[in-house]
Structure 1
Amino acid sequence: MNDDAPAPNGAAQQTPVKMQVLAQYIRDMSFENIVAQKGINGDVKPDVQVQVNLDAKKRPVDNQYEVLTKFTVTSKNKEDQSVLFALELEYGGVFHIEGVPDQQLHPFLLIECPRMLFPYVRRIVSDVTRDGGFPPLNLDNVDFVAIYRQELARRAQAEAAEAAPAVPQA
């Protein structure tokens, strides 16, 4: 079979998507064990909250992109809302990406690339919390599609607010 032959039924052949992780790294990390610093009395019922922020940018080399994930993990005591520990982790990856149409590149960078990085982030968070004197924290899976959609909605709302004419005051 000839690979250069046109696709059946006149369908255009799509370029296959190629994604390669070129590098992964911790850009910034901090862990504060408040319990060890201040001590704690009574029963502790931890309430863990996780915030995720994403960023991506083109690198000077063709088809290369840097994707940053920032995880802010805070554990508070449910009883008095005192902080038990705080962890901030910025984890990045450098990706070589080909074959993604321009209109799909932004979601690809902010959904698929963080999915590739997430298992490593989960492991780091688990190790750091364990080494910090707490039970290892295994992060739940993150829905990067939902995060992406929330960000799009937030931006649309901000643009709509900026575009709205000012209401004259009497």
Structure 2
Amino acid sequence: MQDQPESPQGDSPAAAPAAAPRISQRILTQYVRDLSFENVLARKGVSGDLTPEIAVQVSLDGRKRGGADNQYEVTTKLTATSKTKAAGEVLFVLEIEYVGVFQIEGVPEAQMHPYLLIECPRITFPFLRRIVSDVTRDGGFPALNLEMIDFVQLYRNELARRQQQPAAAPRLDA
């Protein structure tokens, strides 16, 4: 019989705590589900000062894919609206739904929701950012280079918003 080495604390190896589950993640695919760019300036024209003011709204949705083990679909919906600062006239509206399909293993079920709505969009965001930049530039405007989004804060804000709402049917988007 071979002797087992003791741990530095003098415990036997059998008494050592179990290792945390190993998290495995792969991006299976990512794609644009829906894209709309409306150049209002070219269509109807806007007069006066054209200094833009841009508002960006982001929402997230994450769900398990039907029929596939450990596969999840995470959708980032982004709307960017550019208006003139002076008169508030719309210059352009960009709407995009960008989807990432992930194979995720080892994440405890209780942590899957925040993992889907924080980590997964963080991975796909650079690709979404490039599409937004290209579309606005190709649409006749200076490229809109989005700043990095704090997905942790976005998630916390959504949780706080839900706690303040009256009880409603649970949703998985944020």
Q: How would you bin the TM-score normalised by the shorter chain? A: 0.7 to 0.9
Counterpart of 2:114?
Answer: 107
Distance change in 2, residues 1:63/1:44 (3 Å): same
The AA in structure 1 aligned to 2:114 is P
Gaps of 5+ in 2: 1-11, 169-174
The whole-number CA distance in structure 2 between the counterparts of 1:7 and 1:117 is 41
Shift, 1:9, TM fit? 6.4
Larger helix fraction of residues: 1
Counterpart of 1:121?
Answer: 128
The whole-number CA distance in structure 2 between the counterparts of 1:128 and 1:91 is 14
* CA RMSD after TM alignment: 1.6
Shift, 1:37, TM fit? 0.3
* Structure 2 residue 58 is matched with structure 1 residue 82: no
Report runs of 4+ in structure 1 exceeding 2 Å deviation.
6-9
Counterpart of 2:156?
Answer: 149
Counterpart of 1:166?
Answer: none
The whole-number CA distance in structure 1 between the counterparts of 2:83 and 2:15 is 60
Counterpart of 1:139?
Answer: 146
Question: How do 1:18-37 and structure 2 match up within 5 A?
Answer: 18-37=24-43
The whole-number CA distance in structure 2 between the counterparts of 1:117 and 1:144 is 12
The whole-number CA distance in structure 1 between the counterparts of 2:49 and 2:26 is 47
Gaps of 5+ in 1: 1-5, 164-170
The AA in structure 1 aligned to 2:164 is Q
Shift, 1:40, TM fit? 2.0
Shift, 1:7, TM fit? 6.4
The answer to whether the Cα contact below 8 Å between 2:32 and 2:99 also exists between their aligned partners in 1 is: yes
SS at match of 1:126: helix
Counterpart of 2:48?
Answer: 42
Counterpart of 2:73?
Answer: 66
The whole-number CA distance in structure 1 between the counterparts of 2:27 and 2:14 is 33
Aligned-pair identity (%): 59
Q: TM-score, normalised by structure 2?
A: 0.85
The answer to whether the Cα contact below 8 Å between 1:26 and 1:92 also exists between their aligned partners in 2 is: yes
Distance change in 2, residues 1:8/1:37 (3 Å): farther
How many correspondences in the alignment?
156
Counterpart of 2:7?
Answer: none
Shift, 1:43, TM fit? 2.2
Shift, 1:8, TM fit? 8.6
Distance change in 2, residues 1:84/1:7 (3 Å): farther
The AA in structure 1 aligned to 2:26 is Q
